[in-house]
Amino acid sequence: MARDTDLDWNIIARQHPFFGVLANERYLPQNLTPQSMDEFYASGQTDVAHVVEVLRRISGAKFAPDVALDFGGGVGRLTFAMAAHANRVVGVDVASEMLRIGAEQLALRRLPGIGFSASLPDYPVDWINSLIVFQHIPPERGYKLLARLIELLNPDGFISIQVSFYRDTRHTAEIVRDLVDYRYDGRIIELVSELADDHPGSMSMYDYDMNRVLRILYLGGIQSVLTEHTDHAGCHGAWLFGRRGH
């Protein structure tokens, strides 16, 4: 039985949405201030500025997408920043409370060309961005979502998508939490019972098979991929940058 991460994220969104996006004590509800909120959204501008710099470098052409998609847009940390580089941006998230807060923050900022949605668009896009999102989605579901996203990408469209693929000893939280009965042969741990599901609202981190990830990208027409290493408290990943062919 796969963990219901949609349920987890709806609970996280109700309890501590900003901390759920960036796990820093400054963003816990009791610590939020106007200054920490400004810092939160400014961090999105920094991340997106780096993405745009890389995409411009690898494309050899002007980066000027018309429609952009922020997959796992949350409360708009990256969605708002992306609007400086695209005519229209949609932030997609599974948690309704994240979407509500994102819309509320959007109204305060009066930024044009931005929308939020609980589902993927039914129209093609020119840029798909996703950071610290897939790592919270069980891979068997995540592979299908990644393939669906690539299907939405226009020819010459861009991706900036991050996935995690291994962890070091600093991060064993989900392994310990989910173990009930298991088999260990000195190399591989295999669950032999149903997952423990008595901690709804917990955050999970998942490791992806990069062979499968790259295969999905290549089959989707993204033949050249630049990678950057990411490390979130012991969860190591790759930020994947690329452009779809004609």
Residue 216 included in any domain: yes
Q: What is the pLDDT of residues 67-101, one digit of tens each?
A: 999 999 999 999 999 999 999 999 999 999 999 99
Residue 179 included in any domain: no
Beta carbons of 119 and 92 less than 8 angstroms apart:
yes
Residue 22 included in any domain: yes
What are φ and ψ of residue 103, in 5° steps?
-65, -35
Residue 190 included in any domain: no
132: left (phi over 0), alpha (psi -120 to 50) or beta: left
CATH number at residue 81: 3.40.50.150
Alpha-carbon distance of 162 to 51, in angstroms, equals 11
Q: What is the pLDDT of residues 112-121, one digit of tens each?
A: 999 999 999 9
Residue 181 included in any domain: no
Alpha-carbon distance of 214 to 193, in angstroms, equals 31
Strand blocks (E) in the chain:
67-71, 88-92, 114-117, 125-130, 153-167, 182-184, 189-191, 225-232, 235-243
Residue 23 included in any domain: yes
Q: What is the pLDDT of residues 190-225, one digit of tens each?
A: 888 776 666 788 888 999 999 999 999 999 999 899
Q: CA angle at residue 203 from 107 to 7, to 5 degrees?
A: 70
**Domain containing 83: what range?**
5-167+203-243
How many domains are contained in the chain? 1
> What pTM was computed for the model?
0.92
